[in-house]
């Protein structure tokens, strides 16, 4: 039962994990949309049943939470990573002046069970209904037993199930029982974090540092220019003079977090996040490099004497990119030919 086995399960089968890192807050009331519009760095254009992936920033534009804003008719759910529910409530309350809203901490009454993997959709169909196969990415629905948010941060099919705490043990047991024929594997946070790094998903619990904004973290797609939100002034200023850029890097040996990255004897960056990619057979890092050097496909860096090269993200070729619920299934997986999980190295 190693982390490598857990990671392999994320890449090839289906995994179940307690989503203890996730918080959920429900916003009711006539001012729900306007409240989120005030704090969302991204234009809040989302229909009922859809999720918007964005960030909560502090006034210095440092990401404090990785959030999905989920429109549920006249209400919204905020599914957040990086903040406890109490902090999400406080963050929202700080911006709710003059608005009629009710903030409900669903994390007190509910918890998340998370399914990930190229065949997670098939298990979910067993757990809920075959209709879920048509659930689009960044969509959600209410099942009598849970609310299912389709997001995922591993690059594979991912579903976060919000379950009432009094039903949690029974629901987990039911999923494990139904998952037996899919070789469902229970995994922990460590393998999930590695999968995020391999697929270049932003890890709000590990990547942020003081002074780094979405401009440096290559997260500008989660913002829209011309909007006023917490940290927007800092973003505008930083676009003119970024303090570096992140880029994925690969090495043959262990890379240490916060270690300096050198080029020709000069320090040109630092390691923000590091982990062993069992899928690739090397070590990966999210590196912060000087802006002029933050490009993929560059050789010649060193980190603690270890040779380092930058690579394009994501670092792997996710199986879920090819598994099509209309054509493939767990039962026929052996007869389905899929490309290798590691892209060819052309550098």
Partner 1 sequence: MRADLAETIAVREEILGKLRGVLIERMRLRRAPAEIDADAPLFGAGFALDSLDAVELIVALDTLFGVVLEDNGLLRQQMRTLNTVVDLVLAYRRGHVGRR
φ, ψ for residue 333, nearest 5 deg: -60, -35
* Cα four-point dihedral sign 151, 221, 206, 8: positive
Nearer to partner 1, 84 or 239 (CB): 239
Q: CB under 8 Å, gap of 24 or more: what pairs does 161-164 form? A: 161/112, 161/113, 161/114, 161/115, 162/24, 162/79, 162/106, 162/110, 162/111, 162/112, 163/110, 163/111, 163/112, 163/113, 164/109, 164/110
Count the alpha carbons within 13 Å of 13 in the hemisphere toward its beta carbon. 16
Does residue number 142 form part of the binding site for partner 1 (CB under 8 A)?
Answer: no
Residue 136: DSSP 8-state: P
> Shortest gap between Cβ of 272 and partner 1 (angstroms)?
14
Does residue number 134 form part of the binding site for partner 1 (CB under 8 A)?
Answer: no
> Binding marks (x or -) toward partner 1, 22..61, rule CB under 8 A?
-------------------------------x--------
Nearer to partner 1, 55 or 111 (CB): 55
Does residue number 139 form part of the binding site for partner 1 (CB under 8 A)?
Answer: no
> Shortest gap between Cβ of 101 and partner 1 (angstroms)?
26
Does residue number 239 form part of the binding site for partner 1 (CB under 8 A)?
Answer: yes
Does residue number 249 form part of the binding site for partner 1 (CB under 8 A)?
Answer: no
Q: How far apart are CA 31 and CA 201, in angstroms?
A: 31
**Which of 78, 101, 293, 323 forms a contact with partner 1 (CB under 8 A)?**
293
Nearer to partner 1, 180 or 299 (CB): 299
Binding segment (CB under 8 A) for partner 1, from list 12-20, 25-33, 164-172, 243-251 = 243-251
How many chain residues touch partner 1 (CB under 8 A)?
36
Report the run of H or E that residue 24 belongs to, with start and end. Answer: strand 22-28
Nearer to partner 1, 86 or 296 (CB): 296
> Shortest gap between Cβ of 79 and partner 1 (angstroms)?
14
Does residue number 237 form part of the binding site for partner 1 (CB under 8 A)?
Answer: no
Does residue number 329 form part of the binding site for partner 1 (CB under 8 A)?
Answer: no
Does residue number 248 form part of the binding site for partner 1 (CB under 8 A)?
Answer: yes
Nearer to partner 1, 152 or 179 (CB): 152
Does residue number 141 form part of the binding site for partner 1 (CB under 8 A)?
Answer: no
73, 91, 208, 264, 308 from 299: Cα distances, Å? 51, 42, 25, 11, 7
Q: How far apart are CA 164 and CA 113, in angstroms?
A: 11
Does residue number 302 form part of the binding site for partner 1 (CB under 8 A)?
Answer: no
Nearer to partner 1, 45 or 170 (CB): 45
Q: Is 122 helix (H, G, I), strand (E, B) or coil?
A: helix
Contact 290, 268 (CB under 8 A): yes
Contact 223, 100 (CB under 8 A): no
**Which of 280, 321, 325, 329 forms a contact with partner 1 (CB under 8 A)?**
321
Rg (CA), the chain: 21
Q: Is 114 left (phi over 0), alpha (psi -120 to 50) or beta?
A: beta
Does residue number 313 form part of the binding site for partner 1 (CB under 8 A)?
Answer: yes
Does residue number 211 form part of the binding site for partner 1 (CB under 8 A)?
Answer: no
User: What are the residues whose beta carbons fall under 8 Å from the beta carbon of 262, sequence distance 6 or more?
Assistant: 268, 301, 302, 303
How many degrees, rounded to 5, is the angle at CA 302 between CA 5 and CA 312? 60
**Which of 90, 170, 221, 257 forms a contact with partner 1 (CB under 8 A)?**
221
> Binding marks (x or -) toward partner 1, 56..85, rule CB under 8 A?
------------------------------
Residues that bind partner 1 (CB under 8 A): 53, 137-138, 200, 218-221, 223, 225, 239, 245-248, 263-264, 292-293, 295-300, 312-314, 317, 321-322, 339, 343-344, 346-347
């Amino acid at each position: 039962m190693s982390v490598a086995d857990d990671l392999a399960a994320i890449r090839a089968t289906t995994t179940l994990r307690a989503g203890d890192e996730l918080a959920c807050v429900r916003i009711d009331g006539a001012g729900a949309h306007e409240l989120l519009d005030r704090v969302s760095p991204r234009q809040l254009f989302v229909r009922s049943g859809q999720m918007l992936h964005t960030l909560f920033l502090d006034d210095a534009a440092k990401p404090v939470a990785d959030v999905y804003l989920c429109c549920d008719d006249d209400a919204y759910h905020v599914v957040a990573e990086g903040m406890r529910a109490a902090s999400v409530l406080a963050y929202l309350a700080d911006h709710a002046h003059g608005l009629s809203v009710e903030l409900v901490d669903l994390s007190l009454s509910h918890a998340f069970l998370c399914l990930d993997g190229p065949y997670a959709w098939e298990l979910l169909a067993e757990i809920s209904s075959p209709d879920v196969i048509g659930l689009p990415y960044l969509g959600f629905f209410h099942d009598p037993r849970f609310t299912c948010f389709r997001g995922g941060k591993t690059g594979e099919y991912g579903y976060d199930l919000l379950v009432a705490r009094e039903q949690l043990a029974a629901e987990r047991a039911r999923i494990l029982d139904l998952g037996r024929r899919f070789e469902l594997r229970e995994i922990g946070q460590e393998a999930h974090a590695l999968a995020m790094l391999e697929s270049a998903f932003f890890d709000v619990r590990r990547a942020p540092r003081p002074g780094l904004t979405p401009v440096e973290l290559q997260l500008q797609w989660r913002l829209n220019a011309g909007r006023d939100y917490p940290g927007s002034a800092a973003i505008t200023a930083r676009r003119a003079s970024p303090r570096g850029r992140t880029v994925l890097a690969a090495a043959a040996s262990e890379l240490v977090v916060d270690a300096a990255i050198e080029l020709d004897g000069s320090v040109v960056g630092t390691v923000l996040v590091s982990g062993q990619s069992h899928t690739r057979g090397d070590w990966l890092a999210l590196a912060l490099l000087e802006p002029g050097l933050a490009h993929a496909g560059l050789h010649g860096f060193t980190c603690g004497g270890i040779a380092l090269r930058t690579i394009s993200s994501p670092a792997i070729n996710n199986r879920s990119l090819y598994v099509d619920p209309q054509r493939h299934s767990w039962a026929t997986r052996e007869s389905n030919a899929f490309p290798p999980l590691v892209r060819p190295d052309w550098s």
